[in-house]
Amino acid sequence: MSFKAALIQMCSGVEMARNLRDASSMIRDAAARGAQYVLTPEVTNIFESDRQRLRAVVATEQDDASVAGFSRLAQELGIWLHAGSLALRLSEDKLVNRSLLFAPDGTVAARYDKIHLFDVDMPSGERIRESDFFAPGSEAVVATLPWGPLGLSICYDMRFPKLYNVLANAGAMFMAVPAAFTVPTGQAHWHVLLRARAIETGSFVFASAQGGAHESGRHTFGHSLAVNPWGEIIAELAAEPGILPFEVDEGLVNRDRGRIPALKNARAFNLKPPQGIAN
């Protein structure tokens, strides 16, 4: 059984109400094209480089307008609506980068907090420290869709293959990877990492992205794409906001896992201490 999906590529700004309107418009369009599952990018609700302002304006999941808006929209359209991630308040001092999957009745079917936080000094001199403001998650999450299990992840997670191995061994057939990649890292690693995660696990990968020049001055890579379990890119956007519809044949997961049964062939092993003469 196949189903229709769509990825939403955005260039979110600092005004949450406008981001919600922009996302909702594209989600409606995707549903009108027949999409039964729709995924938005990382930090759909706000893209704010000023961390102090970000901390001041975000709300808890219970009070966030985007959460309420997406819940109503999922129910109205009768679709599985996956808010790739939202910046939400966790406590007085910390935020959380949270992915929320809304069922067609508007309820939250699954939530996942980004485990791996992006703490990096870029070659350009830009210094990014997500852990200064965001609390990391600690639990991997597999959600149940009508067509098969979905593994949840967010952006930087894609550099940690163990997470996807755990998700696949827990039954995940599809991997959601909403992201906001920088341009330099996107040019170097975006396609190859996503294809590798698909090949290693024999899973479909759905990667919706932020793309374009943001109000904060940052640029994101875009290139939302869908990858099949054989590692082939079946749909891709360019750098600007848009909608990427595609069809998913979940039968390919069992076919390709049968062709290369890496999950079944994996074996436990011990690491032998380093050998040789110490200098």
Of the residues 11, 48, 130, 155, which is catalytic? 155
Whether residue 175 contacts residue 155, with contact meaning beta carbons closer than 8 Å, is answered with no
Whether residue 8 contacts residue 30, with contact meaning beta carbons closer than 8 Å, is answered with yes
Of the residues 11, 48, 114, 130, which is catalytic? 114
- The 3-state DSSP class for residue 268 equals coil
Of 253, 272, 244, 241, whose CA–CA distance to 22 is shortest? 241
Number of residues that this document lists for the chain: 279
> How far is residue 165's CA from residue 175's CA, in Å, rounded to a whole number?
11
Of the residues 11, 42, 48, 130, which is catalytic? 42
Name residue, tokens 């485990």. Answer: 115
* Residue 11 annotated to the active site: no
> How far is residue 125's CA from residue 120's CA, in Å, rounded to a whole number?
10
Whether residue 103 contacts residue 70, with contact meaning beta carbons closer than 8 Å, is answered with no
Beta-carbon contacts of 149 under 8 Å, excluding residues fewer than 6 positions away, are 142, 143, 170, 171, 172, 173, 174
- The 3-state DSSP class for residue 103 equals coil
* Residue 42 annotated to the active site: yes
> How far is residue 110's CA from residue 99's CA, in Å, rounded to a whole number?
8
Written as one string, the DSSP assignment of 152-163 is E--GGGGG-HHH
* Residue 76 annotated to the active site: no
Q: What is the dihedral of CA 249, 188, 200, 203, to 10 degrees?
A: -20
> How far is residue 103's CA from residue 71's CA, in Å, rounded to a whole number?
8
> How far is residue 207's CA from residue 118's CA, in Å, rounded to a whole number?
17
Residues with a known catalytic role: 42, 114, 155
